[in-house]
Structure 1
Amino acid sequence: MLNEYVYCPRLFYLEYVQREWATNLDVLQGRYVHRRVDQAAGRVPRAEAVTAEVAIHARSVEIGSEELGAVAVIDVLESDDGQLVPVDYKKGSAPDLPEGAWEPERIQVCLQGLLLRANGYVSNYGVIYYVGDKTRVRVEFTPALVTRTKQLLADARALAVAGSLPPPLVNSNKCPRCSLVGICLPDELNHVQQVTGSRPTAETAHGSDKAGSVAPDVAPARREIRRLFPARDDNKAVYVQGQGYTLGLRGATLEIRDKGQAVDAVRLFEVSQLNIFGNVQLSAQALRALASQEIPILHLSYGGWLQAVTAPPPHKNIELRCRQFQAAADPAFCLKLAKALVGGKIRNSRLLLRRNGRRLPPEALSQLVALRDLVERGTSLAELLGVEGSAAREYFRYFSTMFKLPPDDAPPFDFTGRNRRPPKDPINALLSFGYSLLVKEMVVAVLGVGFDPYLGFYHQPRYGRPALALDLMEEFRPLVADSVVITVINNGEIGPDDFLQRGEAVALLPRARKVFIEAFERRLDQLVTHPVFGYQVSYRRVFEIQARLLARTLTGEIPRYIPFVTR
C-alpha cells in the first residue's frame, strides 16, 4: 500500500484503513499480467545460506519486518552474486524519465529491498519489469532513496493511525484512471466545498468556481465537473418471481429452472443484484458464487416487501458505521438532515405535479411551497413528520390529475388519496409496490457504501425497518416510484384487469408485477442531469452518489447533505 500512499494519500486511506475496493480496466489488466507471478513457486534459503554460487528464482514471496512495520509480497525474487533482487511487475511501458520509473514504483521496490535487509539478506538494487514493452528498469537503493522510503513509510503509518481521511486531489490527472474514483468523488467534493465556503481559499485557485446561490443548497457547476465514472451500471438486476422456480449454477452462469427445466439464464459477471419473490429456491453452489462476487440477494415477499438480504460479510468500513451511530445520537444533526430530506421530497413532489398535472388550481402548488417553507422552520422531528404528512395529503389530493384521460373523459382508475396495509385500490397497490422496490434499491445502495441500513436519522429505529434506506428514498419517491406509476397507467401498460380484488384489499396480478418491474428498471436506467454536478447519470447511479454524499457529510468533508432535486 505504500505505493498508493505516494501516489495519493487519500487512495491509501480508502484502501488500507476503510477497506474500500473497486475494479476497473487497469486493475483487471494488472491482475492479468500478474497471473503467473502470483502463483507461489521456488525456494528461498535462509540469509546465511545465500552465496554467490546459489541460484534463486522464486515467485510470490511474502516477507515482513516488525522493526519496519511493513509486509510485502515480492512478485519475483532473483539472486545476483550473493544478494537478492526483488522484481516488481507493472502492466504498462517504462516511462521516459531520468530515473527510469515513477516514484511510487521506485519506493515500492525499495521497501521490498529494505524488508529483505531486515531479514538478514543483502539487497542493493531492485528491478521494475514493465510488461508492456518488456523493459527491465534497475533501481539502485541509494541512501537518498532509502531515507525517502523510510520517511514515507512512517508518514503512511501515522496517517493510518490518525483516523482522518485526507482531502481529495484538486483537478488531478491521476483521478480519471483511479479505480476508486466513484467512491472518492474528488471533483464532486471539491465543488461542494468550494461553493459552500468550507474549503480553504488557498485551494480555490485550482480552477474552482465562485460560490452561488441556487435552491435548494448548492449552486450547479459553472465549469464542467468531470464525470470520472460510468453513467450507468451495465450489470443487470435479476428478478425471479415464478413460484416453485429454482436457481442453480452451471459453470459461470446462473440458471433459472422450472421443474428441472432451464427457462432462463444470465452470466454471473452481468448480475448486479438478485431479487427473489416468494417461494424460489437457491442452490448452495449458486449462493456461494453470488457471495464470492459480492452480489446481494434480496428476498421479497410475493407482494414485494423486503424480508431478508443475503450478502457477503458486512462492509469493512467500520469507521463510517461508527460515525453513523454517533451522528444518529445527535438530535441537532438528525433534525438538520431530516429538513434536507423532507424539503427535497416536497420540492420533487411539486415538480412532478407542475410538469404533469392537468388543470391544477393555483393553490395546489402554492400550498406545497408554503409547507416546504415550514420545513425550514421546523424545530423537531415530530414537527417535520406533521408537515410531511400535510404535504403528502396535498400532493395525493391532486395525484389523479397527472393521469391522461381517455376520449370519454372517464378516469381509468378512481383515486382519492393514499391508503395502504393493505392498499384498497389499484393506484395505491401500484404505489405500495413501487415504494417496496425503491426501499430495496436504497438498501443495496447504503450497504454498498458501508452504512448500517437499519439506523436512520429521520425515520427512527424500529425492529425490522431499514430506517436509513427509508430516509434516503424520501426525495426519490416522486421522481422514481410515483413517476413509474404514472407512466404505466398513461401508456396503457397496466389496466383495470391487471388487479385482484380480495375484500377491501387490491393486489397486482403476476403479469402486472412483471410489467411494473420492467418499467421500474427502465426508470432506474434513465439518464438524468445531476442538479449540482451538471453531468448525466442513471437514477441507480444517483442513489449511490447520494449515499456517498451522506457518508462524506458524516465524516465532515462537506458541511451538509444536499438532496437530489431535479429542475
Structure 2
Amino acid sequence: MSIPIRMLNEIQYCERLYYIMHVQGIFEESADTVEGSAQHRRAEKRMRKGSVAPTEMWEAAPISLHLGDDNLNIVGKLDAVTLEEGKWVPVEGKHSSAPEDNGTFRVESYNLQGTAWPNDQIQLCAQGLLLHANGYPSDFGYLYYRGNKKKIKVDFTKDLIELTTKYIKKAHELHSQPIPKPLKDSKKCFRCSLNYVCLPDETNYLIGASTNIRKIVPSRVDGGILYISEPGAKLGKSGESLTIRYPDGRSDEIPIKDVIHVSLMGNVQCSTQLTHILMACGITISYLSTHGQLIGYTLPPTTKNIFLRKHQFVKFQHSDIALRLSQWIIHSKISNQRTLLRRNGSASKILLQEMKELRDKAITSESIESLRGIEGRAAKLYFEAFPTMLKIKDLDKDILMKGRNRRPPKDPVNALLSLGYTLLTRDVVATCAGVGLDPMFGFFHSIEPGRPALALDLMEPFRPLIVDSIVIRTLNTQEIDIKDFYQGDDSCQLKNSGRKKFFAAYERRLHETLTHPGFGYKISYRRTLDVEARLLARYLEGEINEYRPVTTR
C-alpha cells in the first residue's frame, strides 16, 4: 500500500494523530480546515484556467502533478510545481503561520532549519523525493504560510531526506499496529486540530496514566445547525456558501464553514450540488416531516474507522458486555431523571426513594429483560411526577399533560417531548456516524430495520438533561404557551410559530455548558454528546476498561 505524502505531515507531529486520521480514517472538518480546503480549490481552479501569474508564492506560473513511486512506496498530488535554476521546485501552501526563526529544530537525532515547522518540511521533502524518483531533479522547495505571508525556502538536506524516509517507513508500520498511546502533558495537544477526537488527557486519566486533566477539548462545537421549515424553500450552493431561496422572493446566504448539520422539515428542497459539497465537508442532512417525525438522513459514506465498527459488531453481541453497558446507561438515566425531579418538582419522598432503589438495582440486574423492567417502572414514576415540575399559574396541569403518550402526542407536553426526542435522536445519529460507530447496531434497544438502536442507547441519559429540561423551561417561562399548539380530540401538534421557538430553545440548551462530572471542566451539551460517543469507542477499542455515561450530581 502506498502512503499519500500529505499523511506524513501528521506522523511527525504525533503518531496518534496520524493513526486517527489515516488508519482509522477519522477527519473532522473545522472552520480552519474548510477555509484551507477552499483556498486549495480556488488556487486549483485558477491553475486549470491558466490564469495563475507569478506571485510572491512562486516565481513562475506553476503546474500540478500526480506522482507515485513503488520504491519509495508513496503517492501524492503536488499542488504547485515550478522551475527555478534548472531544478523542479515543489511549492506547498499552508493556512497557518510560520514559526519564529530559532536557529534549528532538533528532531530525534536530526537537525532541521528553524524557519519552517518540521512536519511541513517532511511533507515538502517527500514531494521533492517523488519528483526526483520520476526524473525531475529537485533539491529544494518552498513553503508559503498564509497566516503571516512568509515564503520559506527549504533545502532538501541529507538529514531531512533521511528523516523523511524514516517516517515513510514508520507510516507503513503503524497500519499493522494498535493505536499509539496519547501524548502525556504535551503542548502539542493544544495546537492539534483533533484534540477533541484524541482526548489525550481524558484517556490517560481513565487508564490511570495521569491525574492531570488540562482544558484542551474545546467547550463548544464550531458552527451551528441550520433549520429550514418554511414550505417551498430551496437550498443551493454559491461559491463557498449555502443559499436559501423562499417562495416570496427572499433569500439568505450562509458560509458552509459555519454549518455542522442541515435539518429540513416538510416541503423543502436541497440541490444535488449542495448535497455533494455538504457530504464532502462531513455535514449531515436530516429530513423531518411537517409534524416533526424523523424520516431519514443523508450521511457521508461510512468509510470512517471500519476497525471500530468491527469491534462494535463483535462486542455488542457478547451478553456480558451488552449487559454491563446497559446497566450503566439505565443507572445514569434514572439518576438524571431523579435529579431533575428533585431540583424542579415536588415529588413525594416515597417516589424519590423508589427511584433511588431502582437506580441502584439497575447496576446489579441479571439480564437485559429485567433491566428493561426496571427502566419501565422508573419511567412510570418519573412521568407521574413530571407535572409537579410545571409552574404555570391559572392553567390546569391536566391540559398540559395527561401522562406519557405518543404516536400521536395528545397534549402540549408530550408534543414537545416527542419533537425534542426526535431532534436528540437526529443529533446522536450524526455523532455516532462522525465517530465511526454504526448508529443502527446497539446493545440495549432491540435491533430492528430502520431503528437507530445505538443512538437510542446513548441518548437515554440525556433525555432528562436536554429535552425534558427544555420542555419545563419553555412552558414555565411561557416562551411557548398554549396558543402555539393545535389541539384536537386525539392529538396535539405545534404550530409553525411554536416549532421555531422550540428549535431556538433546543439549540440554546445544546450550547449551554455543564461541569463534566468526570473531568471537572466546563463543556457544552453538544460537545458532551461527542465526548460520550468517543469514550464508548475507546472502550470498544480496548483503550479504557469501562464506559460510564454522564451522570449529574
TM-score range, shorter chain: 0.7 to 0.9
What is aligned with 2:175? Answer: 160
The residue type paired with residue 337 of structure 1 is: L
What per-residue deviation string (whole Å, max 9, x for no partner) do you get for residues 204-254 of structure 1? xxxx32xxxxxxxxxxxxx5521332x223523222233344444566342
Task: Give 1:65 shift.
Answer: 0.9
What is aligned with 2:76? Answer: 72
Q: Is the 8 A contact 1:105 1:128 kept in 2?
A: no
Of 319, 324, 337, the residue aligned with 2:325 is 337
The residue type paired with residue 67 of structure 2 is: I
Q: State the distance in 2 between where 1:115 and 1:486 align.
A: 62
CA change 1:85–1:284 in 2 (3 A) is closer
State how 1:88-487 maps to structure 2 within 5 Å: 88-89=92-93, 91-93=97-99, 95-98=101-104, 99-101=112-114, 102-120=117-135, 122-123=137-138, 125-129=139-143, 131=145, 132=148, 134=150, 136-142=152-158, 145-162=160-177, 164-194=178-208, 199=209, 208-209=210-211, 225-229=214-218, 231-249=219-237, 252-258=241-247, 260-262=248-250, 266-358=254-346, 360-406=347-393, 410-411=396-397, 413=399, 415-487=401-473
Provide structure 2 residue ranges, at least 5 long, that are not aligned to the other structure. Answer: 1-6, 50-58, 105-111
CA change 1:172–1:37 in 2 (3 A) is farther
The residue type paired with residue 221 of structure 2 is: D
Task: Give 1:174 shift.
Answer: 1.0
CA change 1:421–1:36 in 2 (3 A) is closer
Q: Percent identity?
A: 40
- Return the TM-score normalized by structure 2: 0.85
Q: State the distance in 2 between where 1:285 and 1:140 align.
A: 42
CA change 1:297–1:76 in 2 (3 A) is closer
Q: State the distance in 1 between where 2:431 and 2:299 align.
A: 13
CA change 1:152–1:456 in 2 (3 A) is same
Q: State the distance in 1 between where 2:311 and 2:233 align.
A: 42
Q: State the distance in 2 between where 1:30 and 1:514 align.
A: 34
Q: State the distance in 2 between where 1:253 and 1:185 align.
A: 32
Q: Is the 8 A contact 1:245 1:280 kept in 2?
A: yes
Q: Is the 8 A contact 1:93 1:133 kept in 2?
A: no
Task: Give 1:257 shift.
Answer: 1.0
State how 1:517-528 maps to structure 2 within 5 Å: 517-528=503-514
What per-residue deviation string (whole Å, max 9, x for no partner) do you get for residues 365-392 of structure 1? 2111111111111121111111100111
The residue type paired with residue 7 of structure 1 is: Y
CA change 1:284–1:111 in 2 (3 A) is closer
Q: Is the 8 A contact 2:63 2:81 kept in 1?
A: yes
Q: State the distance in 1 between where 2:231 and 2:90 align.
A: 58
- Structure 1 vs Structure 2 CA RMSD: 3.1
The residue type paired with residue 262 of structure 2 is: L
- Return the TM-score normalized by structure 1: 0.83
Task: Give 1:331 shift.
Answer: 1.7
Larger radius of gyration: 1
Q: State the distance in 2 between where 1:330 and 1:501 align.
A: 46
What per-residue deviation string (whole Å, max 9, x for no partner) do you get for residues 464-501 of structure 1? 11111101110001011111111122112333343333
Moved more, 78-87 or 517-526: 78-87
Task: Give 1:325 shift.
Answer: 1.5
Task: Give 1:137 shift.
Answer: 4.1
SS in 2 for 1:563: coil
Q: Is the 8 A contact 2:285 2:299 kept in 1?
A: yes
Q: Is the 8 A contact 1:349 1:478 kept in 2?
A: yes
The residue type paired with residue 184 of structure 2 is: V
Task: Give 1:435 shift.
Answer: 1.3
Of 22, 33, 42, the residue aligned with 1:16 is 22
Task: Give 1:27 shift.
Answer: 4.5
CA change 1:421–1:183 in 2 (3 A) is same
The residue type paired with residue 68 of structure 2 is: G
What per-residue deviation string (whole Å, max 9, x for no partner) do you get for residues 46-84 of structure 1? xxxxxxxxx998543332211121123445546677655
What is aligned with 1:500? Answer: 486
Q: State the distance in 2 between where 1:450 and 1:306 align.
A: 21
Q: State the distance in 2 between where 1:75 and 1:243 align.
A: 43
Task: Give 1:292 shift.
Answer: 4.2
SS in 2 for 1:175: helix
SS in 2 for 1:64: strand
SS in 1 for 2:451: coil
Q: State the distance in 2 between where 1:310 and 1:250 align.
A: 20
Provide structure 1 residue ranges, at least 5 long, that are not aligned to the other structure. Answer: 43-54, 200-207, 210-222
CA change 1:128–1:410 in 2 (3 A) is same
CA change 1:416–1:294 in 2 (3 A) is same
Q: Is the 8 A contact 2:304 2:435 kept in 1?
A: no
Moved more, 514-523 or 280-289: 280-289
The residue type paired with residue 459 of structure 1 is: H
CA change 1:397–1:146 in 2 (3 A) is same
The residue type paired with residue 466 of structure 1 is: P
What per-residue deviation string (whole Å, max 9, x for no partner) do you get for residues 391-412 of structure 1? 1111112111111152x68537
The residue type paired with residue 14 of structure 2 is: C
